Amino acid sequence: MIAPVERAAESELQSMDVVGPVCETGDFFARDRQMPDVQPGALIALLDTGAYAMSIASNYNSRGRAAELLVEGKRAKLVRRRETIEDQLRCEV
């Protein structure tokens, strides 16, 4: 499921692609998804993240691993902070 974090004004659903930051042909979360008007840069919640989740995430293209939140009802708790460049380089010689 993909949903806008902030509720937008009522609008008709639009067909859009939701893509990741790597800009490769396989970096799609959804294709032709019917969603409310979400502008580029808007915060959205990806409730099923696949390779972006920590269990199989990597530092491909030097991308830091994302933060993870545990959400229950209206409460959210940070369970893993966003990885920094220092974290990525820590094991380098």
Each domain of the chain, given as residue ranges in start order, spans 1-48
Mean pLDDT of 68-87: 88
Q: Could you tell me which of 63, 82, 67 has the C-alpha nearest to residue 20?
A: 63
Res 75: pLDDT: 92
Q: What residues act catalytically?
A: 23
Q: Which residue has the higher pLDDT, 49 or 90?
A: 90
pTM over 0.75: no
Beta carbons of 53 and 80 less than 8 angstroms apart: no
What's the CA gap between 93 and 43, in Å, rounded? 37
Res 53: pLDDT: 67
